[in-house]
Structure 1
Amino acid sequence: MKVAVVHDWLVTYAGAEKVLEQILLLYPEADLYSLVDFLPENKKGFILNKKTNVSFIQDIPFAKRIYRKLLPLMPLAIEQFDMSKYDLIISSSYAVAKGIVTGPHQLHVSYVHSPMRYAWDLQHQYLKESRLERGLKGFMAKWMLHRIRMWDYRTSNGVDYFMANSNFIANRIWKVYRREAKVIYPPVDIEGFEYSEDKQDYYITLSRMVPYKKMDLIVEAFATMPDKKLIVVGDGPDYNKIKSKATSNVELLGYQSQENVRSLLKHARAFVFAAEEDFGISVVEAQAAGTPVIAFGKGGALETVIDIAAAEENAAVQPTGVFFKEQTVASLVEGVLRFEEHAARISSQACLDNAKRFSTERFVTEFKAYTEELLQEAHGRERSLREEKYDYRRNPDFN
């Protein structure tokens, strides 16, 4: 069986790439395809140091810096990959990877981290943050996203089976494609995080500093609570904007090594998360370190954090954090105060036990079992079609 794995782009090692890594470990002989591969040679371990088949976008001048702005070319680029020699194609998609062209005798399974957020329900937020709400550029951006949506919907028909990284994303897939999706939570390296019950008097948040992560909201909220220390880990385009809002009780550390991140997480009083995320691996990693979570109560966090309210309704439930209702300073402050009121009821052991539901071993087992089930079904259908054709031709009434 020949296998191909298709990923949108290879520029970093984040949540989607951790999923890709496990898929490649399951299928080490698979060929790898991606629109671009700008990974340094010493950072290719997670793709098993494979040679990546890339698209024409790789050779566009300054593509390494502007590849995201080349979205209008991506549908064309992904369709140029020749998949004809493969029996199984697995796409790992949060943009256009699921749009590869496959034939009727090939099985295409797509693990979707999210349908393109900026083309669907987050379009208006994207346009606002990019200052493309008005004018000629705004009109062109809206027209381009309109065309992308049409292409994205059409190419969903080329996927035989969808997998989603959360029920939240499965619902989004149904909303935009009207297709069912099997939920298989992404792998989290639970063992890689050192569990600790020894907590210090600081809160922590960590993320890439881009608008939808709402890091500025967290900093603004803690600026109104000078008696509470916040440590901020991460960098990105919004770093200077966020830094300008920091007060003396807020410490920005910028990028930190994984070793430092793990140490900071395990000693934090709580992890603060304000994004509406598809799944939110960092939320699970914090719990793996025995650290409770204060999270915006929407998106994947609803599936990975057990709110204190659930424990109030059922004494047998062990809470692992609290939710706040709105992405506003007032709501987040209320969430922090609510956490402090109930912190004694949230144990580090409960956080760890909850995190174990999302282990790498569980992902590998579920992904492999589901893929093999689909392959058996596909082979069974082909065999039935061959047998039907053979019986038809032997029919004495056949002319």
Structure 2
Amino acid sequence: MRVAIVHHWFVTRGGGERVAECIASLFPQAEIFTLMADTPGIPDSLLTRRIHTSFLQMVPLARNYHRHMMPFYPAATESLNLRGFDLVISSDSGPVKGVRVDSGTVQICYCHSPMRYLYDGYESYRTRMGPVTRALFSATANRVRQWDMRAARAVTYFVANSEYVASRIQRLYGRQSMVIHPPIDLHRARVAEVPGQHYLCAGRLVGYKRTELMIEACARLGRTLRIAGSGPEEARLKKIAKASGITFLGEMTTEALWKEYAECRALLFAADEDFGMVPLEAQACGRPVIAYGAGGSLETVRGLGASPTGIYFGEQTVESMMEGILRFEANEAAGVFDTAIIQAWAAEFATPVFLRRMREFVLAKMPEAAIAMASIMSESL
């Protein structure tokens, strides 16, 4: 039994890389394939594993501008040599479901999301690009979209990271999928004795995260906001963050980030996210979430009602977020949010739950894979 794990790229560490790491832990002898990799983006447990990369690895600056490499995704994916493998599991938010495999090979695609910039978010992404990038993107997007849809037809089984993504897989690819939520590493969680009075937002500073809404809402309300993370929007956001209570923390170590989760008053989350691990990480530390009520947040945050873990605001506008913050504060003062209840909710998404469900799914579809699977699933991941 030969097993391959394929992940789109190991350039930065995030939720997708964590999923790939956990899947790989189920198959200790599996070989790892990716379009490109940079040591800081490779999970520690995979550093000693055999990792194969595509020709994009040799392209200067490709790892720094990996999203600009979209026209080359199909050729780079097909250049990966997956011949001779019995089982291929792809961790994919884009192209790598299209790897070429032998006839009879079982390919399970754990889909983080069909590529938003090719489908639902095409115009939104396109309008934020510079003139040269926009022209190249417009000229090549349809070809890559058609290739991606052909690749989806060749997948044996789909696993979606949320009900929201499962519905997109059905709508865009016409395929059914099993929902297995991503793993949250609860062993890093801690609870602050006395949380602070500031709000927190965390994650990559990219356009769809709508960080500017959080900045403006907190500025108008006179609330303190700490922003953890970096990204291409950082310079623009710093220009509009003129209030004295807005602090940019930059890229943080894992331990420092979890400390921020534990010490915040609540996490602000304004993205229409496919799943969103950041809200669950904050909830693992017992902190409530004020989230835009759409997409994956509807699955990761439990709104006002029985045993709430946060609240939703209805629109991606500054005014709606301000109303959400004020409504949260009123409910907080009434003692609505309970740290233990919030943590118990996050525990339902813990790493052992993910590992067990992935193991069960693989064995249900391919019982002979048992000989290649680890017998013990570590909670230390």
TM-score normalised per structure 1 = 0.88
Aligned partner of 1:354 among 317, 341, 345: 345
Q: Verify: 1:239 aligned to 2:254, yes or no.
A: no
Q: Verify: 1:365 aligned to 2:365, yes or no.
A: no
User: Residue 16 of structure 1 aligns with which residue?
Assistant: 16
Letter in 1 for 2:328: F
Q: Verify: 1:272 aligned to 2:268, yes or no.
A: yes
- What whole-Å deviation, never above 9, does each CA across 1:163-204 have from its counterpart, x for those lacking one? 010001001111110100100000001121103462221111
- What whole-Å deviation, never above 9, does each CA across 1:211-265 have from its counterpart, x for those lacking one? 1111122111111111x21111111111121112221121222222222222221
Q: Verify: 1:75 aligned to 2:74, yes or no.
A: yes
1:145 shift after superposition: 1.0
Matches within 5 A, 1:144-293: 144-196=140-192, 198-226=194-222, 228-246=223-241, 247-293=243-289
Q: Verify: 1:295 aligned to 2:291, yes or no.
A: yes
Q: Verify: 1:63 aligned to 2:62, yes or no.
A: yes
User: Residue 319 of structure 1 aligns with which residue?
Assistant: 308
CA pair 266-378 structure 1, distance change in 2 beyond 3 A: closer
Letter in 1 for 2:25: L
1:64 shift after superposition: 2.8
Out of 261-270 and 345-354, give the one that drifted further: 261-270
Distance 1:222 1:160 in 2: 47
1:65 shift after superposition: 2.8
Letter in 2 for 1:175: R
Distance 2:74 2:278 in 1: 30
Segments of structure 2 that go 5 or more residues without pairing to the other structure are: 371-381
User: Residue 30 of structure 2 aligns with which residue?
Assistant: 30
Question: How many equivalent residue pairs?
Answer: 367
Bigger Rg, structure 1 or 2: 1
Letter in 1 for 2:362: T
1:137 shift after superposition: 6.1
Contact 2:180–2:358 under 8 Å retained in 1: yes
Out of 342-351 and 47-56, give the one that drifted further: 47-56
Q: Verify: 1:91 aligned to 2:90, yes or no.
A: yes
1:66 shift after superposition: 3.1
1:85 shift after superposition: 0.7
Contact 2:12–2:40 under 8 Å retained in 1: no
Q: Verify: 1:117 aligned to 2:116, yes or no.
A: yes
Distance 1:215 1:143 in 2: 30
Out of 139-148 and 87-96, give the one that drifted further: 139-148
Contact 2:17–2:43 under 8 Å retained in 1: no
CA pair 194-177 structure 1, distance change in 2 beyond 3 A: same
The share of aligned pairs that are identical, in percent, is 36
Contact 1:197–1:348 under 8 Å retained in 2: no
Contact 2:84–2:102 under 8 Å retained in 1: no
Contact 1:101–1:158 under 8 Å retained in 2: no
CA pair 150-294 structure 1, distance change in 2 beyond 3 A: same
Q: Verify: 1:334 aligned to 2:333, yes or no.
A: no
TM-score normalised per structure 2 = 0.92
Contact 1:207–1:215 under 8 Å retained in 2: no
Distance 1:67 1:90 in 2: 22
Distance 2:251 2:4 in 1: 34
Contact 2:85–2:101 under 8 Å retained in 1: no
Contact 2:93–2:112 under 8 Å retained in 1: yes
Distance 1:27 1:2 in 2: 10
- What whole-Å deviation, never above 9, does each CA across 1:87-112 have from its counterpart, x for those lacking one? 10001100101011223311000000
Q: Secondary structure at the match of 2:357?
A: helix
RMSD after superposition: 1.8
Letter in 1 for 2:336: R
Q: Secondary structure at the match of 1:358?
A: coil
Contact 1:87–1:107 under 8 Å retained in 2: yes
Q: Secondary structure at the match of 2:114?
A: coil
Letter in 2 for 1:15: G
CA pair 137-6 structure 1, distance change in 2 beyond 3 A: closer
Letter in 1 for 2:255: E
Q: Secondary structure at the match of 1:92?
A: strand
Out of 200-209 and 47-56, give the one that drifted further: 47-56
Out of 140-149 and 318-327, give the one that drifted further: 140-149
User: Residue 7 of structure 1 aligns with which residue?
Assistant: 7
Distance 1:172 1:117 in 2: 10
Segments of structure 1 that go 5 or more residues without pairing to the other structure are: 312-316, 380-399
- What whole-Å deviation, never above 9, does each CA across 1:334-392 have from its counterpart, x for those lacking one? 1001101111211111110110110000000000010011003999xxxxxxxxxxxxx
